[in-house]
Amino acid sequence: MIFILTYFPSHWHNRCMNKTTAVMAFVASLFIFGCARDKFPGGLTRLHAEGTRIVNEQGKWVVLKGVNLGGWLFNETWITKIDYSLHGRIHVLGLENGIGAEVDAALIETGPSYEKTLETNPVDPDSWSYRFAAALADRVGRPPAGNFISSAAIYPSISDDSDLPLRKLLEQRFGAETRDELLDIFQRAWIRETDIAWLAAQGFNVVRVPIGYRNLITESDLEPLQALTWNERAFAQIDALLEWCEKYEIYAVLDLQESPGGHNDYSGPALLYEKPEMQALTVDLWEEISSRYSDRDIVAAYSLLAEPMSAPSLQARDEMYDKIVQAIRARGDDHLLIIHDGFFGMDSLPLPGDYNWQNVIYSTHLFEEANNLEAYKSLVFLYQMIFKKAQSAQVVPYYIGSFSTKEDTDWAYDAVSLFLKFFNESGWSWSLWTYKHFDDPIDHELWGTSTSWGVRGKLSSSFDRPDVYRDDLQTLRKKFAAYADLVVDPNEQLLSRLKRGLQ
């Protein structure tokens, strides 16, 4: 059996009609949720670990089942579609220069690019830049193609699975204070109370909240990090989210996607493990989070270091975890603490007693992309053997904090059901990646791209994309705020599979 394993760290209807439909659906969902509220007559209580189970204060077994709020407090721009991919920028510039048909034909021939920059004089025949330059030259001639490529090369793509390129560009243009103001405008539009109400109405009982440390502080992204000054705008967003979660009775997992220094390589080299000063700042950050939320029962858990894949050794990973665990416990905070394996394997995580860890959950993320359902069945068979053996020794709850099968095909949705059956039969908590994502309209136009990344994944309204390089400040404010008006409909195939997995 052959399959491909690839890690993924990690596209229009009448607008008025869509808004009306969205409002009607939301009202209906509130009615449904209101009818189900008596499931939790006393509200949600503090969770803790009891052997391999998560239980509430009444001793009732709680299996967390939900979604990730991707793109919110850690703005992965491939999710939110702020600015353009490299080929998206080229498409737009082609239209502006009157050679849109020729540029699009060259793009279709060359295929999508995941590079950050367009080379002006490419020499490697295998590179995307070389192949696109040749395809465009065949259509418009070599000198015009060269001139066009030079004009496009001044806009490196900020489409990324990190928020750092976006943050840097905003700061370069407007300064750190306005950067934070603009991001706050976007964040208030991307996730709102209606989102949490809708998720609860579907039956989900948890949202995992990926947070980049840069969003929690006001320091410059263009200078070396030396201190932590708290960004009260961001903490106000978290506070509001927790109030909504309490109102609609849905837990939240606060997840640190990137730490000071970096515990993975999403924004560059991971320096956390080799720089004591970055380790101290990471501990300071978690102490601040704990000081603000230690009494919030609606917080199911703190996810301490999401995907610490860049740890130079298991010992370095676990010792960094231990520093954070001990700092949180020293404050008297007894929240569940999530320890991620960093993709070294669930069996690579230590016995909790080796570090005197208590009330912990072990976690991993599953983003292997198989090319058919049979391959996913093989993966699940493999996971069953390895994970269950490891859990029987560790005696802690397991949480699949993030997973997706990505493809918009029947067999990929069948694979989602396969995963959910596996998780549920194992008694493990889970949260899908991700809640809201829509395919790039340009990619859909050029290549027919369609994915299943988002539970709400079908853009059915117009989209005025923010151009961070060229839009003026007032335009960016307006475009960021307009995310609140986007109609992103549910992916019904995906949603139906998930709802069956909630039963």
Residue 117's φ and ψ, nearest 5 degrees, are: -130, 155
Q: What is the mean pLDDT of residues 298-304?
A: 98
21 vs 83, which has greater pLDDT? 83
Q: Which residues of 118-140 are buried (b: 16+ CB within 10 A; e: fewer)?
A: bbeebeeeeebbbbbbbbbbeeb
Q: What angle do CA 168, 171, 173 make, to 5 degrees?
A: 110
Cα–Cα distance measured from residue 466 to residue 473, given in angstroms and rounded to the nearest whole number: 11
Q: What is the mean pLDDT of residues 24-40?
A: 38
Asked if residues 109 and 121 have their Cβ atoms less than 8 Å apart, the reply is no
For residue 31, the model assigns a pLDDT of 37
Asked if residues 104 and 94 have their Cβ atoms less than 8 Å apart, the reply is yes
**pLDDT tens column, 455-501:** 999 999 999 999 999 999 999 999 999 999 999 999 999 999 999 99
For residue 368, the model assigns a pLDDT of 85
For residue 20, the model assigns a pLDDT of 35
Q: Which two tokens stand for residue 360?
A: 């912990």
What percentage of the chain carries pLDDT values higher than 70?
92
Cα–Cα distance measured from residue 385 to residue 215, given in angstroms and rounded to the nearest whole number: 39
**232 in helix, strand or coil?**
helix
93 vs 30, which has greater pLDDT? 93
Q: Among 207, 305, 202, which Cα is nearest to 250's?
A: 207
Q: Please check the confidence at residue 214 and state whether its pLDDT lies above 80.
A: yes
Cα–Cα distance measured from residue 440 to residue 443, given in angstroms and rounded to the nearest whole number: 5
Mean pLDDT, the chain, integer: 92
Q: Among 246, 230, 116, which Cα is nearest to 180's?
A: 230
Q: Please check the confidence at residue 34 and state whether its pLDDT lies above 60.
A: no
* 42: confidence class by pLDDT, cuts 50, 70, 90: low
**pLDDT tens column, 270-285:** 999 999 999 999 999 9
What number of other Cβ atoms are within 10 A of residue 493's Cβ? Answer: 16
Q: Please check the confidence at residue 14 and state whether its pLDDT lies above 50.
A: no
For residue 369, the model assigns a pLDDT of 79
Asked if residues 174 and 182 have their Cβ atoms less than 8 Å apart, the reply is yes
Q: Among 204, 197, 282, 198, which Cα is nearest to 247's?
A: 197
**pLDDT tens column, 176-193:** 999 999 999 999 999 999
Cα–Cα distance measured from residue 31 to residue 41, given in angstroms and rounded to the nearest whole number: 17
Q: What is the mean pLDDT of residues 246-265?
A: 98
Residues with Cβ within 8 Å of 271's Cβ and at least 6 positions away in sequence, in order, are: 261, 262, 278
Q: Which two tokens stand for residue 427?
A: 């008694």
Cα–Cα distance measured from residue 64 to residue 3, given in angstroms and rounded to the nearest whole number: 30
Q: What is the mean pLDDT of residues 76-84?
A: 98
For residue 486, the model assigns a pLDDT of 97
For residue 455, the model assigns a pLDDT of 98
CA 111 and chain centroid, separation: 25
**pLDDT tens column, 376-419:** 999 999 999 999 999 999 999 999 999 999 999 999 999 999 99
Q: Please check the confidence at residue 126 and state whether its pLDDT lies above 80.
A: yes
Residues with Cβ within 8 Å of 142's Cβ and at least 6 positions away in sequence, in order, are: none
Q: Give the alpha-carbon dihedral of 225, 230, 231, 236, to 10 degrees.
A: 150
* 13: confidence class by pLDDT, cuts 50, 70, 90: very low
Q: What is the mean pLDDT of residues 196-222?
A: 98
Helix (H) or strand (E) holding 339: strand 336-340
For residue 376, the model assigns a pLDDT of 97
Cα–Cα distance measured from residue 339 to residue 305, given in angstroms and rounded to the nearest whole number: 7
Residue 248's φ and ψ, nearest 5 degrees, are: -105, 5
**452 in helix, strand or coil?**
coil
For residue 43, the model assigns a pLDDT of 83
Q: What is the mean pLDDT of residues 303-312?
A: 98
Farthest-apart Cα atoms in the chain, separation:
74
Q: Which two tokens stand for residue 259?
A: 């730490």
Q: What is the mean pLDDT of residues 255-272?
A: 97
Cα–Cα distance measured from residue 210 to residue 289, given in angstroms and rounded to the nearest whole number: 14
In 26-99, the DSSP E strands lie at 48-50, 53-55, 65-68
Cα–Cα distance measured from residue 43 to residue 29, given in angstroms and rounded to the nearest whole number: 20
The residue written with tokens 């407007």 in the block is 174
